[in-house]
Amino acid sequence: MPSFTKSAIKVSFIKLLNKKPLNKITVKEIVEDCGINRNSFYYHFNDVPSLIEEIFIEEAEKLVQNRSDDGSLYESLIAAIDFALKNRTAVLHIYNSANREIFERYLNRVSYSAVSGFINTVETAADINEDDREAIVMYYKCQLVGFVIDWLGSGMKYDLCIKLKRICELFDGSMETAIERCSKK
């Protein structure tokens, strides 16, 4: 039964967060929404930030576990930002709160996973040393994080999927070129 209660708390919190800013959500509202008492909330979570942290850790784990190594870079990037796309208002509320760093840690982790998963699909990547591989992954991870931060900073006013698709088209082959340069050393 505890896992059901924990899931109910998370669902209620995301539902409330999609309706109003984080600083306007109380533990009392969360427990009333899911029909439990305050003690049940505190049995599972220390506070609202620990609840947010767990939600993002779980989302990151889902991406890592479900990552496919046979997709395109675009598909990998979209998978990395899937939670933000599905929960735009909630993510924007977290981004604009004092708990922004929780989302940024999540974003860095899933972006790293998406890019490193994609680089594994590039045949010639197996021939490069670990330091060069890490440098390439870090470069593309930082690019993705920057795109998402820019999107969030704009209030999510443009379609990030369209922008990422065009960026992938424009820079198609750039990762392979970097990998080729590494293997020529």
Instruction: Give me the pLDDT at residue 2, please.
Output: 55
The phi, psi pair for 158, rounded to 5°, reads -120, 165
The pLDDT tens digits for 140-160 are 999 989 998 999 999 889 998
The pLDDT tens digits for 38-66 are 999 999 999 999 999 999 888 888 777 76
Instruction: Single out the residue of 125, 115, 35 nearest to residue 74, CA to CA.
Output: 115
Instruction: Give me the pLDDT at residue 166, please.
Output: 93
Instruction: Give me the pLDDT at residue 40, please.
Output: 92
Mark 158-185 as b/e (b = at least 16 C-beta within 10 Å): eebeeebeebbeeeeeebeebbeebeee
Q: What is the value of pTM for the model shown?
A: 0.80
Which residue numbers in the chain have pLDDT < 50? 1
d(CA 11, CA 33): 9
